[in-house]
Chains A and B, each alone.
Chain A
Amino acid sequence: MLNTLKLDWLSNIRGDLLAGTVVALALIPEAIAFSIIAGVDPKVGLYASFCIAVIISFVGGRPGMISAATGAMALLMVTLVKDHGLEYLLAASLLCGVIQIGAGFLKLGDLMRFVSKSVVTGFVNALAILIFMAQLPELTNVTWHVYAMTAAGLGIIYLFPYVPKVGSWLPSPLVCIVVITAVAMFYGIDVRTVADMGELPDTLPIFLWPDVPLTLETLWIILPYSAALAAVGLLESMMTATIVDELTDTDSNKNRECKGQGVANIGSSLLGGMAGCAMIGQSIINVKSGGRGRLSTFVAGFFLLIMVVFLDEWIGQIPMAALVAVMIMVSIGTFSWDSIVNLKKHPISTNVVMLTTVSVVVATHNLALGVLIGVLLASLFFANKIGRFMVVKNEQTAEGERSYHVIGQVFFASSDAFSKSFDFREAVTRVTIDLSQAHFWDITAVSALDRVVLKFRREGAEVELIGLNEASSTIVDRFGVHDKPEEIEKLMGGH
């Protein structure tokens, strides 16, 4: 265990320190921007980012992944903050953490396997669109200075890395912020700055119990928000963990990550921060900058706070236009470009799932709802597809006798087609239904068969069923056969 600790923390010190610093610099504008989305003072997001990053570096299950205050979570908090205020947000964050720890113990991280690739893509794209849309208020009803600054900022962010030498070791978002701030201060341009958006932290965070009445009423107010926060937080964290796993070609402990997210959110809420989760964009930046171990996450959080506390005067001077430029970069970087290119290649059902997920999220600003609908839709499409793997052949065996041969999957989606493949109008005296190559997956299928048999009998035919027991053995909910290949063969083969 000591050695794992050493490996997680100290195997890549130089890379982790550098990457953590780059991420810390990128986290500051994001934390401020997400606080503004949620409708709270920038210090709430900054404290949250510090607490979450530092705590998750110890208790998380995915070394090298960056967690902090995020847009996905901030978007869920808007109405709570508007209607009830900051203290209720802190209480909701606390409860969200408790729910996430519970989810970790119940191993709900495993449920991620029901979230298909197209839903994940939809989630990521919706998130990117929402982050972009959240910047629009900063770009409406403003002077031309703001547009010029934002455009210049984006230019610096994307072109600076091409500058030889300096470009690859100086974070371009930082250069953007420094240059734009310097220009605004030098020319005394009157644009909105971070200081106008609310209070910045000037001290280290202090322990605070959320100041809400401990009543059932409070619980009913915060519970829906906490549940949505917990779900979205875990979803994004699990997705990000998978992406980091893929990028670094290493494994992570998803259930430990669930619990870790919970602990981090509890910690954050008790130190005056909002709930957060893993960040796709920042984790990519971390890996790209060479961060691999827990140290990178720790450095990101720690460095962020140090800079913010000591430089609060300067950070207050950053024009919102510079932040908007950085956030547009984040949204572009989060968006899955491939998903647009692949629209033509992928089957229509996949595209429908992806686009539905995106539209639901953009319409409701609730990522949890979008994912839920995406998952349901994907399951329906899947059921529909599998339902087509059913065919009923028939032949006349003798005068007035017909035999039906059912092959394939009979369940709720295909039971209708199953019933319709029998010809009840034909006057026969004897019907044989061979089910030995069919699988009856649920009660709907069995009752469809019952109806078919009954109908034939009413028409005056004798009905004989072959292989019913084997065909219906799949109804049992608990097979427990996936670890026994011979059992699966027995079940699925031509019994």
Chain B
Amino acid sequence: MNQITACIDGSNGATAVCAAASWVSQQLEKPLCLLHVLEKPAGREADLSGSIGLGSREHLLAQLSELDAQRNKLAIESGHLMLEAAKECAHDAGVTEVSTLQRHGRLARAVAELEEEIRVLVMGRQGDDHSVPSENAVGSHLETVLRTVKCPVLVTAGEFVQPTSFMVAYDGSEPAQRALASYGNSPLLRGLPCHLVMVNHDDEAHKAQLEQAAGKLREEGFEVTVAYLSGDVQSQLLAYQHENSINMIVMGAYGHSRIRQFFLGSHTRNMVSHTSVPLLLLR
């Protein structure tokens, strides 16, 4: 729980990730760790001759390890360059304590192994595989990581601009209340004006909940604006964010069961794929 970890890769988003992580690191006064994970590519040359002769196994092992060795040497080298660039970027942003880390394997697993150390995880919306950025593409790792880790995750989208205000999507659910407690006490967003927004719960009970939440935030010293919206959750939230030129969204992630999501989709997933500002997801 004592460092900010940023997932760096070769995609266009890496700069934004680095900038966002630097900002978080300075706000929380925690050291920054830049993580690059070397994943194993799936596609490779295949020999379809289907025959095995004497020493096939030994030969095949030697051949496959040779291929992997070459590929990994290059990957380590290029990852190293990415990390160096990111480190410089963080130094320029004024972060003093920056460490770098390279791991083999899958990103979600690497992050899970490091989780005890992580206070906030920062990663880009798109991965390496989206080198031609399509508007709403979400990197293949993001959802796996979001599901695996329990620490707060800051997802960057597009360029990172230091936030001047933030919006909280609040639905009164348990994850949302837990999230409230965590950002309420944290120095990360302290001093920024807050918009507490609820969609589609325009009844007394929910209004009371929202007022209560707003009260809590005010106690912590936040300047809170309360808003009720109705309609499609994701488009309403994003429209509100746009109108009020808010540049950071905070929400509890994955409030519903996987089965429900399978049929109804997930607000978290929709928000991640459509947002144009950084999204802070709290479990």
Contacts and interface: CB of A to CB of B under 8 A. Distances in A.
Contacts of A157: 51
Given A248-B64, A249-B68, A288-B60, A173 B51 contact: yes
B48 A22 contact: yes
A338 to B, nearest CB: 6
B46 A330 contact: no
A249 B48 CA distance: 20
A284 B52 contact: yes
Contact of B53 (A158, A160, A249, A290): A158
Interface string A7-35: 10001101100110011011000000000
Contacts of B51: 157-158, 160-161, 171-173, 285, 329, 333
Nearest to B65: A249
Interface string A276-307: 00001100110111101000000000000000
A24 to B, nearest CB: 10
Interface stretch (A162-170, A191-199, A262-270, A464-472): A162-170
A243 B61 CA distance: 9
B56 A288 contact: yes
Nearest to B52: A333
A337 interface: yes
Given A11-B42, A290-B44, A285 B50 contact: yes
Interface string A222-256: 00000000000000000000010011111000000
Given A172-B51, A284-B57, A332-B53, A290 B46 contact: yes
B258 interface: yes
A246 B57 CA distance: 10
Given A171-B49, A288-B60, A337-B55, A15 B44 contact: yes
A171 B50 contact: yes
A289 B61 CA distance: 13
Contacts of B46: 15, 18-19, 288-290
A2 interface: yes
A294 to B, nearest CB: 13
A289 B44 CA distance: 10
Q: Interface on chain B toward A: helix, strand, loop, or mixed SS? A: loop
Nearest to A22: B50
Contact of A332 (B42, B48, B54, B258): B54
Output the residue of B47, B49, B56, B61 with the most chain A CB within 10 A: B49
A246 B42 contact: no
Q: Interface on chain A toward B: helix, strand, loop, or mixed SS? A: helix
Interface in A166-190: 167-174
Contacts of A243: 57
Interface residues of B, number: 29
Contacts of A281: 52
B149 to A, nearest CB: 13
B144 interface: yes
A337 B58 contact: yes
B52 A285 contact: yes
Contacts of A14: 43
Nearest to B45: A290
B40 interface: yes
A444 interface: no
A249 B40 contact: yes
Interface string B141-158: 001100100000000000
B147 to A, nearest CB: 7
A379 interface: no
B53 to A, nearest CB: 6
A288 B106 CA distance: 23
Given A281-B52, A335-B54, A247 B43 contact: no
A336 interface: yes
A173 B50 contact: yes
A171 B64 contact: no
B169 to A, nearest CB: 24
Contact of A161 (B49, B54, B57, B258): B49
Nearest to A283: B57
Nearest to A171: B50
A248 B65 CA distance: 9
A157 B54 CA distance: 13
A281 B48 CA distance: 14
A140 interface: no
A169 B58 contact: no
Contacts of A332: 52-54
Contacts of B147: 3
Contacts of B58: 336-338
Given A249-B65, A284-B60, A333-B53, A289 B42 contact: no
Interface string B105-128: 010100000000000000000000
Contacts of A11: 42
Output the residue of B60, B65, B258 with the most chain A CB within 10 A: B60
Nearest to B145: A3
Contacts of A250: 40
A101 to B, nearest CB: 27
A30 B12 CA distance: 51
Contacts of A171: 48-51
B200 to A, nearest CB: 27
Interface string A310-348: 000000000000000000011011111110000000000
Interface string A149-160: 000000001101
B49 A12 contact: no
A23 B52 CA distance: 12
Given A171-B50, A287-B60, 17 more contacts: A3-B144, A15-B44, A22-B48, A249-B40, A250-B40, A281-B52, A288-B56, A289-B48, A290-B45, A333-B51, A333-B56, A333-B57, A334-B52, A335-B54, A336-B57, A337-B58, A338-B58
Interface of A: 1-3, 7, 11-12, 14-15, 18-19, 22-23, 25-26, 157-158, 160-161, 167-174, 243, 246-250, 280-281, 284-285, 287-290, 292, 329-330, 332-338
20 contacts: A12-B43, A19-B48, A23-B50, A161-B47, A161-B49, A168-B48, A172-B49, A247-B57, A280-B57, A284-B57, A289-B46, A289-B47, A290-B48, A329-B53, A332-B52, A332-B53, A333-B52, A334-B52, A336-B57, A337-B55
